[in-house]
Amino acid sequence: MPTSSPLTHFDAQGQAHMVDVGAKPATHRVAVATGRIEMLPATLALIRSGTAKKGDVLGIARIAGIMAAKKTSDLIPLCHPLALSRVAIDLEAVDADGTSAAAVFCTATVETTGPTGVEMEALTAVQVALLTVYDMCKAADRGMTITGVRLLEKHGGKSGSWVGGDQGG
């Protein structure tokens, strides 16, 4: 028999399973995730000007991120379907400087009141929003790089609050 593990998605026999959250109390839960997509300065200029061939890059990416948060349980096999009360996607275009590439930064804030957290929904929202930027701009810049995707903070539930430090990326 396997030794006990801090990984909750495995049973005593080591088989993957969906965690039973039925007995957990519903609490207000919030998660914030972030990431960025780095690109050529000319690509960022296209995004800002609104002249990308496929249209409003940041507007479409925002909607994609919201949709992704709502569909996380369809994408990640052991995630519970959740009734989300809020999904906010913030996208910020930042010029290159001496140390950083031109980039679009994405921050997703996801909230619910329920028996399980929304970290995966926030992380999924960021990834899909950034993938949407890539999809809409790939004709101009196939070398874009998605990086630094991470959880910034989570609140609620039995484990309480967690706020990450500067982990780079």
Q: Residue 62 in contact with residue 89, Cβ under 8 Å? A: yes
Positive or negative: CA dihedral 61, 65, 71, 73: positive
> Chain-centre distance of CA 85, in angstroms?
16
End-to-end CA distance of the chain: 39
- Give catalytic status of residue 20 as yes or no: no
Residue in 11, 56, 74, 135 annotated catalytic: 135
Assigned token pair, 51? 């002249």
Which residues have a catalytic role annotated?
135
